[in-house]
């Protein structure tokens, strides 16, 4: 077997000093942290959570087809046909397993971090590299202490590169992810306010994000957005090669003016070491241009020419977080409700502002902004007033958005107590040719309003 197996896991974990109950040697198809979503052949890891403990569900995971489990106490019953590893700290144990497996496979890792746009950049970078290399990537948002090791379990020896998203919401998390994945290329897209409630300050967030380039080896490459003033200063202290990108005069990968193609994407020229190329990014909105530049920068770091990298981005078959959904009313819904930070909301409103027809936004709150919560919601209200004809919001923070938009002169700005009331009221006014942006933090669960607005998948 060329892929990961329970036998390989058992031997590795035994060598690391863990208690191992070994079953038959069978393939392992990936990782899971929720017993309800286990697929046959998965390795289930029983993470201790804020609301529940994964150790309570090990037996359920094995019944649902898990080939193996890492847990902090043995499950009840006879599981001799499965491989079970007992570890004092399941999170650390699966991280050690993932590190060992990546080393066994040998593929260099590209790590991507930033406050906003990580998943989009990961998807576009992976699609770009796939034109040249057998490319592995983390699925979904498996980007945490718990998620990144599970993502690495789908790596195979035949892969030539792995593209991993690296997120954080606590001190030391990025450094821990780097210790597991050992990236050779590291991308920092931006540094913003999200998670400030947990980290305490923008300086603490910057320190976390910049732990990625600081962890790179001397023969590695840092791909950095030099247009972000918090990122640029780290370039001079790194021991590895750097490829700075952006409009900044010090950027090696320099971009020209962006031509906004609306929902069809963007187009811009890039220059690198005296060579020029034109890039057409398939991602809508000027605010996601850094993702395309990052993809070009990573391709350059891995030996592709500028022309090859630009062509690969241009031809990439990839979807960003923003999805276009047709409404039975004739309107187009821009479903961008996966998450919301001040930068991503402002960027989405900028995209909306450039479209034709009646422009409408249904906005939820932005989470984890700490002391900046009120000021940032007021700022978004002002931006929205200059971007849309109709603005709808709800809840306590939504009231702040609406008040500020009204103060800025937007007459059609309406607040509702709940998202259901907001969506129902907006649905009654939609008509053919409208474009509706739906955006808010994940905790708002705005996926429930898409059907109310007549969204048809």
Same fold, 106-314 and 323-456: no
Q: What pLDDT is stored for residue 203 in this prediction?
A: 84
Q: Which of 189-203, 333-347, 411-425 has the highest mean pLDDT?
A: 411-425
Residue 24's pLDDT is 95
DSSP-derived pairing of the beta strands 109-113 and 221-225: unpaired
Q: Find the helix packing angle between 90-105 and 6-15, rounded to 10°.
A: 110
Distance of CA 349 to the CA centre of its chain: 20
pTM, to two decimals: 0.86
Give CA–CA dist 128/313, Å, rounded.
5
Closest CA to 120 of 302, 311, 268, 293: 293
User: Quick one: 106-314 is in which CATH superfamily?
Assistant: Mur-like, catalytic domain (3.40.1190.10)
Query: How far is it, in rounded angstroms, from Cα 440 to Cα 457?
Result: 20
- Cα(72)–Cα(86) distance, integer angstroms: 5
Distances, alpha carbon 159 to alpha carbons 27, 137, 166, 195, 255, in Å: 17, 10, 19, 33, 31
What are 13-40's pLDDT values in tens digits? 999 999 999 999 999 999 999 999 999 9
For residue range 223-261, list pLDDT tens digits in order: 999 999 999 999 989 999 999 999 998 999 999 999 999
pLDDT at 1: 45
pLDDT at residue 50, as a whole number: 75
Sorted by sequence, the CB contacts under 8 Å of residue 154 that are 6+ apart come out as 29, 30, 31, 136, 139
Give the whole-angstrom CA distance, residue 367 versus residue 439.
Answer: 12
What pLDDT score was predicted for residue 298?
98
Q: Rounded CA gap, 427 and 81, in Å?
A: 54
Mean pLDDT of 153-166: 97
Domain 6-93 has CATH 3.40.1390.10: yes
Count of all residues that appear for the chain in the document: 457
Token pair 């590795």 is found at 12
Domain boundaries, the chain: 6-93, 106-314, 323-456
Which pLDDT does position 320 carry in this prediction?
A: 63
pLDDT of residue 326: 94
Task: Report the distance separating Cα 382 and Cα 228, nearest Å.
Answer: 23
Taking alpha carbons only, the member of 386, 385, 390 closest to residue 361 is 390
CA distance 447 to 420: 11
Contact 386, 353 (CB under 8 A): yes
pLDDT tens readout for residues 195-226 = 666 677 888 888 989 999 999 999 999 999 99
When pLDDT is cut at 50, 70 and 90, the band that residue 438 belongs to is: very high
Confidence (pLDDT) at 176: 96
pLDDT, mean of residues 48-68: 91
CATH 3.30.2320.20 fits 323-456, yes or no: no
Report how far residue 317's alpha carbon sits from residue 308's, in angstroms, rounded to the nearest whole number.
16
- Share the mean pLDDT of the chain: 93
What six digits make up the tokens of 324?
């276009």
76, pLDDT greater than 70: yes
Instruction: Quote the pLDDT of residue 409.
Output: 95
User: pLDDT value at position 204?
Assistant: 83
Q: Predicted confidence band at 169 (pLDDT cuts at 50, 70, 90)?
A: confident
Q: How confident is the model at residue 457 (pLDDT cuts 50, 70, 90)?
A: low
Give residue-wise pLDDT tens across range 296-336.
999 999 999 999 999 999 998 887 678 889 999 999 999 98
Measure CA 107 to chain center.
Answer: 21
**Tokens coding 30:** 């990936």
Which structure tokens are listed for 248?
């900044």
pLDDT reading at 282 higher than 50: yes
Q: How confident is the model at residue 122 (pLDDT cuts 50, 70, 90)?
A: very high
């Amino acid at each position: 077997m060329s892929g990961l197996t329970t036998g390989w896991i058992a031997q590795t974990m035994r060598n690391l000093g863990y208690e191992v109950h070994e079953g038959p040697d069978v393939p392992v198809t990936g990782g899971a942290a929720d017993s309800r979503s286990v697929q046959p052949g998965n390795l289930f890891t029983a993470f201790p959570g804020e609301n529940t403990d994964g150790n309570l569900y090990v037996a359920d995971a094995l019944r649902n087809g898990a080939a193996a489990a890492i847990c902090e106490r043995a499950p009840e019953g006879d599981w001799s046909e499965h491989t079970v590893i007992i570890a004092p700290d399941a999170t650390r144990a699966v991280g050690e397993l993932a590190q060992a497996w990546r080393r066994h496979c040998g593929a260099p890792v590209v790590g991507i971090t930033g406050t906003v746009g990580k998943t989009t950049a990961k998807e576009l970078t992976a699609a770009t590299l796939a034109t040249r290399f057998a490319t592995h990537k983390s699925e979904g948002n498996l980007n945490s202490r718990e998620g990144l090791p599970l993502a690495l379990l789908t790596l195979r020896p035949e892969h030539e590169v792995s593209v991993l998203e690296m997120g954080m919401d606590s001190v030391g998390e990025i450094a821990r992810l780097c210790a597991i994945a050992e990236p050779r290329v590291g991308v920092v897209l931006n540094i913003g306010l999200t998670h400030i409630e947990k980290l305490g300050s923008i300086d603490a967030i910057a320190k976390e994000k910049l732990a990625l380039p600081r962890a790179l080896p001397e023969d590695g490459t840092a791909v950095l957005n030099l247009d972000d003033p918090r990122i640029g200063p780290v370039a001079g202290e790194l021991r590895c090669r750097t490829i700075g990108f952006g409009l900044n005069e010090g950027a090696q990968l320099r971009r020209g003016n962006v031509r906004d193609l609306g929902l069809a994407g963007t187009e811009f020229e890039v220059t690198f070491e005296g060579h020029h190329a034109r890039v057409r990014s398939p991602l809508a909105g000027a605010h996601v241009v850094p993702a395309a530049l990052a993809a070009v920068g990573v391709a350059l770091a891995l030996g592709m020419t500028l022309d090859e990298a630009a062509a690969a981005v241009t031809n990439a078959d990839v979807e960003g977080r923003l999805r276009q959904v047709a409404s039975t009313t004739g309107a187009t819904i821009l479903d961008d409700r996966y998450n919301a930070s001040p930068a991503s909301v402002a960027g989405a409103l900028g995209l909306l502002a450039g479209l034709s027809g009646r422009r409408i936004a249904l906005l939820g709150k932005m989470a984890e902004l700490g002391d900046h919560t009120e000021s940032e919601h007021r700022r978004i209200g002002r931006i929205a007033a200059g971007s849309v004809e109709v603005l709808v919001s709800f809840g306590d923070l939504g009231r702040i958005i609406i008040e500020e938009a009204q103060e800025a002169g937007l007459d059609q700005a309406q607040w509702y107590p709940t998202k259901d009331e907001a969506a129902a009221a907006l649905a009654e006014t939609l008509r053919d040719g409208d474009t509706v942006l739906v955006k808010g933090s994940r905790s708002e669960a705005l996926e429930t309003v898409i059907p109310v607005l007549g969204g048809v998948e």
